[in-house]
Chains A and B, each alone.
Chain A
């Protein structure tokens, strides 16, 4: 039982950055824009968070800075995709390549400096004695709690409010939404910016909580795994939570297997998350071969008012 709790705790801690990035991606893709820049946004969020924390030591300022830089990059992506109607795939790729390069450039001077204990934990001592639940929930940090709240809020927002209905309308059928009086372009801008901020927060969380030193390219493909998670989660925040923790568990399982003294070289254990991503996507593709994938129907097509569909 103890091992089980430990694995859950480890899965939550390594799954939370993935969860933030997936939630941000869901928000963006629900509005009909493909978001492939997650890797670059996470890296930028992480490097800015590291720099701000080392200079100020203020957690709130650190999180705001990480969100701000990714919001700026989000505006650029929105300008490309919404205003210029450029290819959303290439714009996302450019964001990733630029973010990777710029974060390596900015982070050169702070590489290897530890950022320990930046995020305070919520110690629920009264919960400690409850079996299983106590072990899991009594010592989580505030960002993890924030991610729980965010999942519920986003789920209610998307499925239970009229604004959420508008969001789904923008992503599924922008001409109809436009006729309804929803300003498609402005809302797409808004959702891209908010979603990008969440992805930047994911980078900050990765740096502050999960691996507290800046290393060049430290996300190691987590941004891309988050892109895949959006598909696993079928654009649904609640499912995103479980998918993110599943991948978080995969991330830590290699480490666990090493601890029990397995003969398998660590390089192969580190491949697990990447290979499982591909296998799960293949499984989903096979299972859903005759079903809609659940993706927003206008995902990837820019909306032009004058153009008929």
Chain B
């Protein structure tokens, strides 16, 4: 071989002028292909940053953020009453959170858990209105079934336009939230209003047979068991069944799933039925276990908070339990700072900020800083 090989450095010796110029500022930020998952501590950092960020607004309102936060924490976790209250709030969050998490698994953006929650609550109440004298062993199962079916149908109303008419499920599910809220108001201000309730917008108080049993003297009710059973089922189905595997496959790569012969539209319908059913069960547990009546303003936005619960948990069952407990605490803490003159909407502000910092942190940890050239 007499011929000189082509120098392999040829391309490098003639870089384009732009990159030579920027060599002095020689750092660049790029996606690190090796990092798929962000580290677990990133979640904690994101939550802390969100709290600091909201602290600015609290300070702007003339309050000391540290006082406010410690008040919230002691209100939510400091006393036995606080902890049971937090658990009571975390039951609907966990159930709705499982519901939206299962939909997000296959990238169906169900933000209608709020409406599905209300639909379940209304369906369960319908049982008490139209069959008021059922014995306890019939009343509770009938209400549970009604709640799941009501929520599930509300979920299907989102899934059917999505699968057969290519309608964006975000818009449909949100519009249905408003429809459900208006329907609820119609019932509690209209035909189902308690005739002896001094014009209070709510149904008559449920009888003993229609209420979920409580644990001891606390306000904690049997819904906790429902939630735990559901989260175990969710974990089992996702991990050990063929169905869960198919869902994970659709979530990871819908194209490959379709080629593998998985019927995506049938999965979407079933998943939305389950997703709505979970939220509907939460609604049933709330009316039957906590308020003991259907009334105006029954949900302080559980369905919306559940979106953040699911996202914080990264759709993981253990994470769902932890994050729903934390957000339950946030809601209770938000109520407890009302005594020092702050609006309870502070907790929804913190929730939004947490979601922001979560996705930012999640993405930021996928980048790396490299020297250029």
Q: Report the number of A-B residue pairs with Cβ-Cβ less than 8 Å.
A: 143
Specify the chain B residue showing the minimal Cβ separation from A224: B174
The answer to whether A98 and B167 touch across the interface, beta carbons within 8 angstroms, is: no
The answer to whether A97 and B363 touch across the interface, beta carbons within 8 angstroms, is: no
The answer to whether A101 and B176 touch across the interface, beta carbons within 8 angstroms, is: no
The answer to whether A89 and B109 touch across the interface, beta carbons within 8 angstroms, is: yes
Q: How far is the CA of A97 from the CA of B348 in the complex (A)?
A: 7
**Segment of B147-155, B224-232, B251-259, B354-362 in the binding face:** B354-362
Known pairs A85-B31, A89-B170; A220 contacts B178 (CB<8 A): yes
The answer to whether A97 and B178 touch across the interface, beta carbons within 8 angstroms, is: no
**Residues of B with C-beta under 8 A to A227:** 170-171
**Residues of A with C-beta under 8 A to B190:** 265, 267
The answer to whether A105 and B176 touch across the interface, beta carbons within 8 angstroms, is: no
Contact partner of B363 among A84, A104, A281, CB < 8 A? A84
Known pairs A86-B363, A90-B359, A277-B171; A98 contacts B349 (CB<8 A): yes
The answer to whether A86 and B360 touch across the interface, beta carbons within 8 angstroms, is: yes
Q: How far is the CA of A87 from the CA of B355 in the complex (A)?
A: 12
The answer to whether A102 and B349 touch across the interface, beta carbons within 8 angstroms, is: yes
A149 on the B face (CB < 8 A): no
Specify the chain B residue showing the minimal Cβ separation from A287: B165
Specify the chain B residue showing the minimal Cβ separation from A293: B166
The answer to whether A224 and B175 touch across the interface, beta carbons within 8 angstroms, is: yes
The answer to whether A93 and B57 touch across the interface, beta carbons within 8 angstroms, is: no
B129 on the A face (CB < 8 A): no
Known pairs A80-B359, A271-B182, A285-B166; A101 contacts B349 (CB<8 A): yes
Interface of A is mostly: helix
B70 on the A face (CB < 8 A): no
Specify the chain B residue showing the minimal Cβ separation from A102: B349
**Residues of B with C-beta under 8 A to A79:** 360
B13 on the A face (CB < 8 A): no
Contact with B along A229-273 (1 / 0, CB 8 A): 001000000000000000000000000000000000101101100
Q: How far is the CA of A289 from the CA of B167 in the complex (A)?
A: 11
Q: How far is the CA of A90 from the CA of B363 in the complex (A)?
A: 12
B42 on the A face (CB < 8 A): no
Q: How far is the CA of A105 from the CA of B178 in the complex (A)?
A: 22
Contact with A along B1-43 (1 / 0, CB 8 A): 0000000000000000000000000000011000000000000
The answer to whether B111 and A93 touch across the interface, beta carbons within 8 angstroms, is: yes
**Residues of A with C-beta under 8 A to B177:** 221
Return A44 CB to nearest CB of chain B, in Å: 11
| Size of B's binding interface in residues, CB under 8 A | 48
Within A176-221, the residues touching B (CB, 8 Å) are 216, 220-221
The answer to whether B165 and A271 touch across the interface, beta carbons within 8 angstroms, is: no
Q: How far is the CA of A104 from the CA of B347 in the complex (A)?
A: 10
The answer to whether B178 and A101 touch across the interface, beta carbons within 8 angstroms, is: no
Specify the chain B residue showing the minimal Cβ separation from A221: B178
**Residues of B with C-beta under 8 A to A89:** 109, 170
The answer to whether A216 and B345 touch across the interface, beta carbons within 8 angstroms, is: yes
A108 on the B face (CB < 8 A): yes
The answer to whether A102 and B352 touch across the interface, beta carbons within 8 angstroms, is: yes
The answer to whether B165 and A281 touch across the interface, beta carbons within 8 angstroms, is: yes
**Residues of B with C-beta under 8 A to A80:** 356, 359-360, 363
Specify the chain A residue showing the minimal Cβ separation from B174: A224
Q: How far is the CA of A97 from the CA of B179 in the complex (A)?
A: 19
Contact with B along A68-84 (1 / 0, CB 8 A): 00000000100110001
B308 on the A face (CB < 8 A): yes
Q: Which of B30, B308, B343 has the most CB of A within 10 A?
A: B343
The answer to whether B57 and A102 touch across the interface, beta carbons within 8 angstroms, is: yes
Within B153-173, the residues touching A (CB, 8 Å) are 161, 165-168, 170-172
The answer to whether A278 and B175 touch across the interface, beta carbons within 8 angstroms, is: yes
**Residues of A with C-beta under 8 A to B347:** 101
Known pairs A278-B167, A282-B167, A306-B30; A97 contacts B304 (CB<8 A): yes
Known pairs A86-B360, A89-B109, A228-B171; A97 contacts B355 (CB<8 A): yes
The answer to whether A267 and B186 touch across the interface, beta carbons within 8 angstroms, is: yes
B185 on the A face (CB < 8 A): yes
Within B268-320, the residues touching A (CB, 8 Å) are 304, 307-308, 311
B350 on the A face (CB < 8 A): yes
B66 on the A face (CB < 8 A): no
Specify the chain B residue showing the minimal Cβ separation from A100: B348
The answer to whether A104 and B109 touch across the interface, beta carbons within 8 angstroms, is: no
The answer to whether B355 and A98 touch across the interface, beta carbons within 8 angstroms, is: yes
B364 on the A face (CB < 8 A): yes
Within B325-373, the residues touching A (CB, 8 Å) are 343, 345-353, 355-356, 359-360, 362-364, 367
Return A218 CB to nearest CB of chain B, in Å: 13
Specify the chain A residue showing the minimal Cβ separation from B160: A282
Q: How far is the CA of A84 from the CA of B367 in the complex (A)?
A: 9
**Residues of B with C-beta under 8 A to A105:** 57, 61, 343, 345-346, 348-349
Contact with A along B168-209 (1 / 0, CB 8 A): 101110111111001101100110000000000000000000
Specify the chain B residue showing the minimal Cβ separation from A77: B356
**Residues of A with C-beta under 8 A to B363:** 80, 84-86
Q: How far is the CA of A274 from the CA of B190 in the complex (A)?
A: 21
Contact partner of B359 among A86, A99, A267, CB < 8 A? A86
Within B44-102, the residues touching A (CB, 8 Å) are 57, 61
**Residues of B with C-beta under 8 A to A265:** 186, 190
Contact partner of A97 among B57, B165, B352, CB < 8 A? B352
Q: How far is the CA of A214 from the CA of B46 in the complex (A)?
A: 32
The answer to whether A87 and B345 touch across the interface, beta carbons within 8 angstroms, is: no
Contact with B along A30-45 (1 / 0, CB 8 A): 0000001000100000
**Residues of A with C-beta under 8 A to B183:** 267, 271
Within A127-165, the residues touching B (CB, 8 Å) are none
The answer to whether A285 and B167 touch across the interface, beta carbons within 8 angstroms, is: yes
The answer to whether A97 and B186 touch across the interface, beta carbons within 8 angstroms, is: no
Return B284 CB to nearest CB of chain A, in Å: 22
Q: How far is the CA of A104 from the CA of B364 in the complex (A)?
A: 29
The 8 residue pairs across chains A and B that have the minimum distance between CB atoms: A98-B352, A101-B348, A101-B349, A285-B165, A104-B345, A267-B186, A97-B352, A94-B355
